[in-house]
Amino acid sequence: EKKISFSERQTKISAWFSEAKEAAKKGDFEKAEELLISIINLDHRYLPAFIELSDVYYELRKYLEVKQTLFHVLKVLSRKTSNDFSGYRAKKELYYTLANANKQLGNLDEAIDNLQEALELDSNNPRYLDLILELSIIKKDYALAESIFRRLVEVNPENKKLPELRIRIDKLLEY
């Protein structure tokens, strides 16, 4: 295979990335996956392709692939300084997506760990608190559920699900 110049590679990556995003938007996730893998084969350091690929895998319900892809992205990002994050989706959102994938895979402890990482970066995010609360209830972890519930009440007191959540947490004491 002939070696292509840097500018040719960048042009191909840009075109394929746009095409992949458009395919995903239209629901053609298989085509998007194929294009994103082509980008990664051309430039294995192009993190936006990995991030977009994790979204495509999530839509295809390939949760193990989501997990592997995001694990790679987070590993690369952990080696960079905070100034290098520009242009990428917020790290906290990557942890949130990873938590959802782990939930789908039944890895509740890992999902909770992912959410705790996300909460380190955004301690008052109601979505993160809501999901970790949901997971703690599923795991029947009363102590965690109670502490997260208190935080959620402080952060989002108008949440209409609070009364129902309170009942579900109280039921954990019956076990």
Taking only the tens place, the pLDDT of each residue in 97-110 is 999 999 999 999 99
At 15, is the pLDDT very low, low, confident or very high (cuts 50, 70, 90)? very high
At 81, is the pLDDT very low, low, confident or very high (cuts 50, 70, 90)? low
pTM of the model: 0.88
CA 41 to chain centre: 23
pLDDT exceeds 60 at position 87: no
Residue 7 to residues 12, 15, 21, 133: CA-CA distances in angstroms?
9, 12, 21, 48
User: Quick one: which of 47, 113, 121 has its CA closest to 84?
Assistant: 47
At 89, is the pLDDT very low, low, confident or very high (cuts 50, 70, 90)? confident
Q: How confident is the model at residue 88, as a pLDDT?
A: 61
Q: How confident is the model at residue 132, as a pLDDT?
A: 98
Lowest mean pLDDT of 9-18, 50-59, 79-88, 121-130, name the range. Answer: 79-88
Q: How confident is the model at residue 2, as a pLDDT?
A: 65
Q: How many CB atoms lie within 10 A of CB 173?
A: 8
Answer whether 168's CB lies under 8 Å from 138's CB. Answer: no
